[in-house]
Structure 1
């Protein structure tokens, strides 16, 4: 920026975006000062480098705003819950509650049924457990990828519903008035 640009000549772009051609650096800085703006190097890998006359404070502000906007957009993560065919109903319900929380936070959930040794011969038992999980999560999300076998695992992918993905607002905290105790006699 301005005096920090040491290479001369430079390719200059004016304040309105017009090409001003190859100009010595000192002359470009003088033109920027006349306009009350800064000379900013926009492409330093080019030879000669490309510089532009603009308001550096405004440029810095807009790039900061773009950075803030992109950081506000939350990335969707993939969460996984693992269950076995012999998992008890109460344990499955606990996993369903956790999966529902993931879906409410706008994360995808992969439900995995893991088969071990002889359980592979009774895949219908695992399918029954997976179907019950999908049925319980039907209100919070929809099936993106139906159940498939992959080696010794049966998996299904659930994506959040748009209506269910919004976090619920917290209820207002009720405050009780403070009652002062009466002084003890004595």
Structure 2
């Protein structure tokens, strides 16, 4: 029995982020809104005004002195707020990172082929992680790997900007390029 009550109380708290109508426990409130005159009203009068209009009295700012309330359709307000949150979430972009791998001795044709893919990735709005992988003793060609990545950065200058310069981490030399905003 006790557990059921606590779950029900939790559900009510989760459901109503604002105090409405008879849950507002103060003597007087500052009433704001389009359809009322902004002023300080006794709680009973504020509730009557809300009932006359067939709407809810919603506590907007409980920490103010006196608390600020507004007369509105609370369910409609919650619906529009959910809709706004959903739209904002949809607009938030997910960053995708595409990888391109080179060897320290990559020849010209392979380089051009991979550069074209890199251009396409940046134009599509994805970040690019280009890296040179050193196998075995090829680590002695660190300078070749760095030159290769810097050449790629200059070739892709019009599509993106370098976020991280070539950096050697273990057997990989990595560089990040972010797409330009205008593209």
Is 1:55 the counterpart of 2:105 in the alignment? no
> Alpha carbons of 1:117 and 1:22: their partners in 2 closer, same or farther (altered >3 Å)?
farther
Q: CA RMSD in A?
A: 3.8
Unaligned runs of 5+ in 1: 166-186
Corresponding residue to 2:56 among 34, 38, 49? 38
- Give the TM-score, by structure 2 length: 0.62
Does the residue aligned with 1:143 lie in a helix, a strand or coil? strand
Structure 2 partner of 1:76: 95
More helix by share: 2
**For 1:22 and 1:150, how far apart are their aligned partners in 2?**
69
In the TM superposition, what is the alpha-carbon distance from 1:80 to its structure 2 partner? 2.3
After TM superposition, the structure 1 = structure 2 runs for residues 25-174 of structure 1, keeping only pairs within 5 Å, are 30-40=48-58, 52-56=69-73, 57-163=76-182, 165=183
Unaligned runs of 5+ in 2: 1-15
**For 1:22 and 1:84, how far apart are their aligned partners in 2?**
78
In the TM superposition, what is the alpha-carbon distance from 1:145 to its structure 2 partner? 1.8
In the TM superposition, what is the alpha-carbon distance from 1:98 to its structure 2 partner? 2.1
> Alpha carbons of 1:64 and 1:31: their partners in 2 closer, same or farther (altered >3 Å)?
same
Does the residue aligned with 1:144 lie in a helix, a strand or coil? strand
In the TM superposition, what is the alpha-carbon distance from 1:19 to its structure 2 partner? 9.5
Does the residue aligned with 2:158 lie in a helix, a strand or coil? coil
In the TM superposition, what is the alpha-carbon distance from 1:140 to its structure 2 partner? 1.1
Does the residue aligned with 1:76 lie in a helix, a strand or coil? coil
In the TM superposition, what is the alpha-carbon distance from 1:38 to its structure 2 partner? 1.9
**For 1:147 and 1:22, how far apart are their aligned partners in 2?**
68
